[in-house]
């Protein structure tokens, strides 16, 4: 058997290089959009109202402090800016501007800008991975560890050259790129790389090709200063004469202007000044049947003499009103008018436009009701009637009519009982022609409704202040108004009383209660108001348990002795002077409550950092007895307060108190229930 020959040796094969695979085809609908390559996330932006549905509010020169959570995957360094621009009331938007944001830690960032003149502002955020800052941080870490950084320096040179193509002034960047890529000792090149001036130059020319812009452009409504700050005085001009049997005229009412101005008020608010209906006219103390000579309620608007664009003949003519507005302005007062969208049965609208009202099955128009109460002298408008468009335009025309006669402030009666959409449309449309118009919402209703009206465009809002009298009530309520998101869009106006509201605190507390509530209103809020008669301590209710006044001025003419001894006018004038001289009291943002060992004493501070203005207000809440105790001054802000003596000056009396440290003693009486103390201040942050 023969053997098989041995196998021939196999030839060595050359090594093959694998062929490159073809790229994976990308389907046009694979969902990989360019924005998915952006790594930075911008979220939890503040301030932002209802996902940008509504604007925040500011006045010219006020800052907008923007915060956000900004983060990305990995450990790269980030950069971010606030982008903003001004949109004038009439004209084209301005150019976008930017201000750098600062990282606060834990992914929280902040930035700020100031708004311009009346109109609007817009703002949004942009953030990106800061490649240079990331490289610089890594370079510094390797240098500290004693590692070779030759490769990193070459990488940095490439970053600088790329930035030079983007920069306005590329000289420094190009020169440093040459140094980093050169043959100088590595230590010298590293010093050049870590130069702070280079970091500043690179920050001015960032690579933002894959930046993330926040998904919304947010808005700021910029009102004039009076929307934020003002002292209001409410008066019935028909009661400004000397004869209780007839209406005073505007000419007679003008005689009251110097006295009101001398008390330091800014706004003179008038209830409706229109003709008053006679059908179902109310009598004195809201009697259902009027007697001969009864003047009726100004809120029952309309008669054969005209409607919402007419003046009651007892007050005079529209020309008399114009002269009254001019005289008020000369006295330093701005006239505000009541805007009450309702009619008496005698209003011309009732016969000319019955389609604007609700009707019963028998065809008669429905009057206002709040069972068991009936208001036969009032016909509400039907904001959703078939002819709603013509109604809305007519009601807007009412505002425009009075704007044309010099009025820019409107106190709106019961806006929560009218269409929300109407208010948003009407206010915005009026502002296009009159950007300085201001609307105050008189809506004592549920918090959600009050806040929504503010979002819709009302510049100021009545509040629950009248019913907050204890220290816990005041502290809790003011904390809500000044520290939550509500502060961004709802400006409170603290009326101490109104023609409809005489709180039991004033009924039972006597003159001391009026002093206390006045000081609280005027120092807790930048805007506050009183209804005439407050300075005379008027406090008699129509019946026990009622908040209505006896002999209410709503239904009759009240002639008063404004010079009655012991009235509150000197205190009012003094506090309003303090408000004008101290910017700390001209906003609500810096309100801080401090401690007191006596629950009947409320202590709080207000500050204006830019001017170094620091006030400590201390108020007794007890109108019946002396209260005393220890109050806490603001820790860390008082010059010498923690280690030595300092002087606290009472701006109400000019009294000077020698204080030491954080806690000091006060004694308050019903005759002098408050201190407004100016404290020596250290440098405060802006």
- Domains of the chain plus CATH, in order, are 34-130+211-222 (2.60.40.10), 131-203 (1.20.58.80), 233-343+384-586 (3.20.20.80), 592-678 (2.60.40.1180)
| Bridge partners, 222 (sequence order) | 58, 119
| Bridge partners, 105 (sequence order) | 108
Closest CA to 425 of 448, 452, 386, 396: 396
Residue 413 catalytic? yes
Contact in structure between 665 and 615 (CB atoms under 8 Å): no
Mean pLDDT per block of 10 residues along the chain (686 residues) reads 43 50 63 86 98 98 97 97 94 94 98 96 98 97 96 97 93 96 96 96 95 98 98 98 97 98 98 98 96 97 98 98 98 98 98 98 94 90 98 98 98 98 98 97 98 98 98 98 98 98 98 98 98 98 97 97 96 98 97 98 96 96 98 88 85 97 96 97 66
Cis preceding-peptide flag for 17 (omega within 30 of 0): no
Given its phi and psi angles, is residue 467 left (phi above 0), alpha (psi -120 to 50 degrees) or beta?
alpha
pLDDT of residue 204: 94
pLDDT of residue 6: 44
Active-site hit among 130, 312, 334, 442: 442
The DSSP element (H or E) to which 128 belongs, if any, is strand 119-129
pLDDT of residue 8: 43
pLDDT of residue 20: 57
pLDDT of residue 23: 65
> b/e for 188-209, b at 16 or more Cβ within 10 A?
ebbebbeeeebeebbeebbbbe
Q: What is the CA radius of gyration of the chain?
A: 34
Instruction: Give the Cα separation of 651 and 659 in Å (integer).
Output: 16
Instruction: Give the Cα separation of 464 and 606 in Å (integer).
Output: 21
Active-site hit among 252, 413, 459, 613: 413
pLDDT of residue 7: 45
| Distant-in-sequence, close-in-space partners of 203: CB < 8 Å, separation ≥ 6 | 79, 100, 130, 132, 133
């Amino acid at each position: 058997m023969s053997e098989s020959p041995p196998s021939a040796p196999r030839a060595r094969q050359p090594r093959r290089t694998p062929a490159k695979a073809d790229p994976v085809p990308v389907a046009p609908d694979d969902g990989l959009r360019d924005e998915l390559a952006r790594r930075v996330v911008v979220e939890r932006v503040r301030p932002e109202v209802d996902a940008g549905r509504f604007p925040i509010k500011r006045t010219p020169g006020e800052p907008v402090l923007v915060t956000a959570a900004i983060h990305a995957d990995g450990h790269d360094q980030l950069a971010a800016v606030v982008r903003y621009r001004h949109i004038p009331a009439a004209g084209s938007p301005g150019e976008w501007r930017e201000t750098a944001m600062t990282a606060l830690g834990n992914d929280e960032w902040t930035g700020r800008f100031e708004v311009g003149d009346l109109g609007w502002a817009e703002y949004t955020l942009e953030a990106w991975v800061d490649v240079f800052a990331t490289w610089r941080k890594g370079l510094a870490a390797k240098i500290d560890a004693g590692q070779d950084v030759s490769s990193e320096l070459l990488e940095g040179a490439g970053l600088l050259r790329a930035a030079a193509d983007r920069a306005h002034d590329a000289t420094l960047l190009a020169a440093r790129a040459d140094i980093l890529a050169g043959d100088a000792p590595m230590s010298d090149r590293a010093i050049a790389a870590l130069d702070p001036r280079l970091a500043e130059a690179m920050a001015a020319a960032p690579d933002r090709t894959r930046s993330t812009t926040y998904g919304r452009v947010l808005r700021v409504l910029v009102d004039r200063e009076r929307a934020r700050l003002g002292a209001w005085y409410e008066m019935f001009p028909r009661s400004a004469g000397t004869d209780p049997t007839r209406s005073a005229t505007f000419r007679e009412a003008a005689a009251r202007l110097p006295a009101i101005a001398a008390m330091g008020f800014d706004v003179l608010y008038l209830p409706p000044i229109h003709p008053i209906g006679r059908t179902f006219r109310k009598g004195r103390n809201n009697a259902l049947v009027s007697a001969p000579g009864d003047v009726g309620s100004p809120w029952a608007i309309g008669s054969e003499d005209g409607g919402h664009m007419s003046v009651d003949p007892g007050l005079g003519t529209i020309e008399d009103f114009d002269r009254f507005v001019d005289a008020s302005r000369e006295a330093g007062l701005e006239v505000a008018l009541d805007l009450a969208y309702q009619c008496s049965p005698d209003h011309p609208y009732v016969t000319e436009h019955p389609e604007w009202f609700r009707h019963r099955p028998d065809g008669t128009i429905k009057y206002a009701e709040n069972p068991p109460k009936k208001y036969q002298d009032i016909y509400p408008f039907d904001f959703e009637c078939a002819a709603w468009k013509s109604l809305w335009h007519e009601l807007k025309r009412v505002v425009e009519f009075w704007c044309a006669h010099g009025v820019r402030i409107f106190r709106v009666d019961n806006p929560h009982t009218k269409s929300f959409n109407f208010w948003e449309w009407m206010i915005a449309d009026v502002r296009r022609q009159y950007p300085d118009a201001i609307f105050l919402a008189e809506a004592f209703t549920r918090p959600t409704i009050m806040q929504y009206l503010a979002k819709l465009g009302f510049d100021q809002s009545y509040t629950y202040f009248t019913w907050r009298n204890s220290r816990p009530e005041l502290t809790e309520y003011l904390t809500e108004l000044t520290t939550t998101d509500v502060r961004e869009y709802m400006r409170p106006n603290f009326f101490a009383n109104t023609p409809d509201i005489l709180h039991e605190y004033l009924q039972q507390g006597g003159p001391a209660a009026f002093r206390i509530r006045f000081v609280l209103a005027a120092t807790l809020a930048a805007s506050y108001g009183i209804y005439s008669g407050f300075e005379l301590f008027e406090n008699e209710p129509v019946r026990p348990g009622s908040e209505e006044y006896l002999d209410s001025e709503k239904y009759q003419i009240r002639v008063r002795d404004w010079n009655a001894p012991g009235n509150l006018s000197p205190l009012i004038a003094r506090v309003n002077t303090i408000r004008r001289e101290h910017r700390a009291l001209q906003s609500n943002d810096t309100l801080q409550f401090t401690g007191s060992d006596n629950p009947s004493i409320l202590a709080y501070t207000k500050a204006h950092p830019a001017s170094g203005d620091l006030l400590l207000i201390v108020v007794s809440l007890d109108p019946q007895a002396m209260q005393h105790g220890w109050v806490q001054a603001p820790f860390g802000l008082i010059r010498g307060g923690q280690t030595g003596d300092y002087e606290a000056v009472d701006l109400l009396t000019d009294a000077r108190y020698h204080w030491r440290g954080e806690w000091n003693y006060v004694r308050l009486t019903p005759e002098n229930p408050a201190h407004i103390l100016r404290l020596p201040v250290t440098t405060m942050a802006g």
